Amino acid sequence: MKILQLGKKNLDVSHPVVMGILNVTPDSFYDGGHYETETAIIGRIHQIVEEGAGIIDIGAYSTRPGAAMVDKKEELARLAPAVELVRKYYPSVPVSIDTFRSEVAREIYHCLGEVIVNDISGGTMDTEMFGFIAETRLPYVMMHIQGTPQTMQKNPVYRDVTKEVYRFFEERTDLLRAAGMENIILDPGFGFGKTLDHNYELMNHLDLFQELGYPLLVGISRKSMISRLLETTPAEALNGTTVLNTIALMKGAAILRVHDVKEAVETVKIVERLLF
């Protein structure tokens, strides 16, 4: 499916789209605490759009390994004002909300309109999420995770990570399709309950997930799968991010979720020149 329905709008992912990250959290692994004031949030929104992103993804609950729990009230208090600011300055730009809670997604939907729901748990951390998605038909990013953000990196084990993530997507998309929902995006969940080897095995076989028939989202921006391998830090991982984003595009990624929008947009332009 290359055209997603966002309310009355179509979101075309037949050509790769860049999703710019706006973290309104104090503790995200790379840019936590950078965008907590309205002025800083507005500046980041302008930067994301001006550098060419097609989607803004807003996160109000850090899901880095070992992150502290955040209650629903606090998540909404961070998330809603940021969504409102995007609506104010760029009403036509699609907004994605990074939440695994159906109540948070429902509140944003009822108060602020159609959004993409980016769920790190693929519906496993809130049993009401699939019902909400089926009811509203909002575009839904189904990510794979083993465990929770608090436990996922303690000792992730797979017999075959690619087969197990593939099977997870088959089973979970079947549930949504049974409810009449096709507005789905798949995210293998790099860094979410995976070792370094698991992450690179998934990247090496990313093209296999195209067989499922849904757009693929890849989010590897400045993650530890880069900084650990290169023995560097997230702040120094832009070059590695660009390399992996290029590989992901060559293997069929439709959406790149990134901190560095300008560089990702340039990557898309070059790869499109080769592939399209």
Q: How far apart are CA 249 and CA 216, in angstroms?
A: 10
User: What SS3 state is found at 209?
Assistant: helix
CA distance 51 to 261: 6
Report the C-alpha gap between 276 and 43 in whole angstroms: 33
Angle among Cα 264, 270, 276 to the nearest 5 degrees reads 115
| Structure token pair of residue 184 | 């789905």
Q: Please name the residues in contact with 194: beta carbons below 8 A apart, sequence gap of 6 or more.
A: 146, 156, 161, 202, 225
Give yes or no: 163 in active site: no
Single out the catalytic residue among 222, 257, 262, 273.
Answer: 257
Which of 64, 101, 194, 223 is catalytic? The answer is 223
- Active site annotation includes 257: yes
Total residues belonging to the chain: 276
Q: How far apart are CA 72 and CA 79, in angstroms?
A: 10
DSSP secondary structure string, 28-55?
A: -TTTTTSS-SHHHHHHHHHHHHHTT-SE
Q: Count of CB atoms within 10 A of residue 219's CB?
A: 27
Active-site residue set: 223, 257
